[in-house]
Chain A
Amino acid sequence: MERIGLNGKGAPFWRGLRLEALVTMLRVALGAIFVIGGLKLVHPAAFGIPGQEALALKFLDPEMGYISPFIAAKIIGTLGVRISTFLLIQGWVEIVLGVLLVGGVGTRMVAMNMGLMFWAFTVASPLVGQLRLSRDLALMGLSFAIAVTGADTWSLEGHWRGRRSQFADRRDVVLVLIRFSLAYPLIVSALFTGGAFDNPLNGTLPRGLILLVGLLLAAGVLPRGVMLLVALWMLFLLPATLATKGIFQGLDVVKREIGLFAASLAYLVAGPDRWTWPKPRRLRCRDVVDLLLAYVEDSLRPMDRRAFEAHIVDCINCWRILKTYRETMALGRQLGDDTIPMDVHERLDAFVRGRLSDPS
């Protein structure tokens, strides 16, 4: 028997923490994207842009830039600041929010704000309406997914307050957010290619294949298999871009793909969500308790056994129920070692020799 204390010490540390690790990965990836984007605005020279004014000009480019003339006029007229100054402030805001998210401080609020900022980036684009910044909208969806899960075990907030994320409780909502967040930029990137619409997604694989992957994800057909392809694709894309463009410029080009990689990996491990085909067999805690006897007797059908074990991996409460159920069985069987007290045996033996020798 494993040595397990009354307070649960000795339990495998990963038990019930797999989903927490996925939230941590996604949270840190999204925070890192903001930090990288902020660093570019604060220190453009590191990213191959001569200075703040050159950066402002690049952002104001009517086709390739990120700030439309209308938004630029509002910044200058209403806020009363130069575009270069605005970008500097924006950069520091992004760095602060990114660092907070990487550390896991005020996770829900920060993630919600970041999601809205990703939406604002798209709205401010001179090509708004042409869905050029679909990857930012994907990151908006992923930020909202973190806002739904909340702080995980390994965030500072989780550490201070002893909290876990709500990924396990809101699994389907989070997973479907991730799935659509990934489907969306793939479909849009495949449909809009060339010039300002070029991005690492539509430049590395045939457009037809990208469109197919996006549509399969949107429809929820074999989503984990598709997510595996996406994760492998991103895993190739990240080092390949860094190798050709250098660390800073490379990170600037593929920073969004860091988030897409983390999201596809999270879905691959924790998915699929319930609105997919084939429909996943997922057990509730009550079902697991009902199936305990069949599980310990190894009489479950293979598909039920897989569903049972998939639940146990992520549910610390059900794992403890299984463990203590087995312990109860072991204790009960130990009662089978009880013997007959000597005095009782002697009295019964006397009864046998007296009464049963003379049945009359």
Chain B
Amino acid sequence: MSADLIAALKARHPAGFSQLLSKHGAMMYRVALRLLGSKEDAEDVLQETLVTAYEKIHTFEERSALTSWLYRILTNAALMRLRMRARDREVPMNHAGPAMTEDGRHAKEVGDWSVSSEDVLLRREALSTIREAIRDLPEMYRSVYVLAEIEGLSHQEVATLLDLQVGTVKVRLHRARLFLRGALAEYFQDRGPRGR
């Protein structure tokens, strides 16, 4: 199936690219949308990715995975567009975790806002909150978070795609998670206990 797809792509057969879209379109759209935060931009970047794939399919070496190749094209295109925007707010990510006292203790009581998987409405709210908060992540953290957490790529794969050290990937992923955890905690704290 994959070999047939690659053969069709290399032959630049339109049906091959339709098939590529059917098979990997959701992944590509998801990554683009989470990186860019806008449906219009995501769609544009997807088009750019398809065009680039079409133009450079002859450079694709079949010993590597097609998805990795697509991730690289897509993230490059998305990050290029993000950098052109150059409107990242300054978010102090090294303090993304909970507030601490000088001697390293929690400065205030930490709330437990964990959501039951059975509570569909609450879970939907939590997902909506985290989608919003991802947009507030600085680009360098967002790209790592989207690829590692949402797409489930390994630290090594993310490091290769974004040309980073594995240690840097871990630090950025950790801070991104802490930032999003804080956003969720803030949301549920403001919202208060259910039924109120």
CB–CB A339/B145 < 8 A: no
Smallest Cβ-Cβ distance to B40: which chain A residue: A344
Q: Residues of B contacting A344 with CB < 8 Å? A: 29, 39, 42-43, 46
**Residue of B14, B47, B116, B151 touching A4 (CB-CB under 8 A):** B116
CB–CB B130/A339 < 8 A: no
CB–CB B30/A336 < 8 A: yes
From residue 135 to 156 of chain B, which have CB atoms closer than 8 A to chain A? Answer: 145, 149-152
Q: Contacts A6-B193, A344-B43, A356-B54: A329 and B17 contacting too (C-beta < 8 A)?
A: no
| Size bin of chain A's contact surface | 35 or more
From residue 344 to 360 of chain A, which have CB atoms closer than 8 A to chain B? Answer: 344-345, 347-349, 351-353, 355-357, 359
Q: Residues of A contacting B12 with CB < 8 Å? A: 356, 359
A327 to B30, CA, bound (A): 21
Q: Contacts A292-B174, A293-B173, A353-B18: A359 and B47 contacting too (C-beta < 8 A)?
A: no
**Residue of A4, A287, A289 touching B98 (CB-CB under 8 A):** A289
CB–CB B185/A324 < 8 A: yes
**Residue of B104, B111, B113, B152 touching A285 (CB-CB under 8 A):** B104
The total of Cβ contacts below 8 Å across the A-B interface reads 164
Q: Contacts A318-B106, A351-B50: A325 and B131 contacting too (C-beta < 8 A)?
A: no
- Is A323 an interface residue when CB atoms closer than 8 A count as contact? yes
CB distance from B103 to the nearest CB of A (A): 7
Instruction: Label chain A's interface by main secondary structure.
Output: helix
A3 to B194, CA, bound (A): 14
| Size bin of chain B's contact surface | 35 or more
Question: What 0/1 readout, one digit per residue, does chain B (89-125) give for beta carbons within 8 Å of chain A?
Answer: 0000000011010011110011111111110001100
Chain B residues near A (Cβ < 8 Å): 12, 14, 17-18, 21, 25-26, 28-30, 33-34, 39, 42-43, 46-47, 50-51, 54-55, 97-98, 100, 103-106, 109-118, 122-123, 126-127, 130-131, 145, 149-152, 170, 173-174, 177-178, 180-181, 184-185, 188, 191-194
Kindly list the 9 A-B residue pairs having the minimum CB-CB distance in the complex, ordered from nearest: A284-B104, A286-B104, A8-B112, A4-B114, A340-B29, A332-B149, A317-B110, A357-B14, A293-B174
Sample of 12 A–B contacts (CB below 8 Å): A1-B117, A5-B116, A6-B111, A6-B122, A285-B104, A285-B105, A318-B106, A318-B110, A324-B114, A331-B127, A332-B180, A349-B21
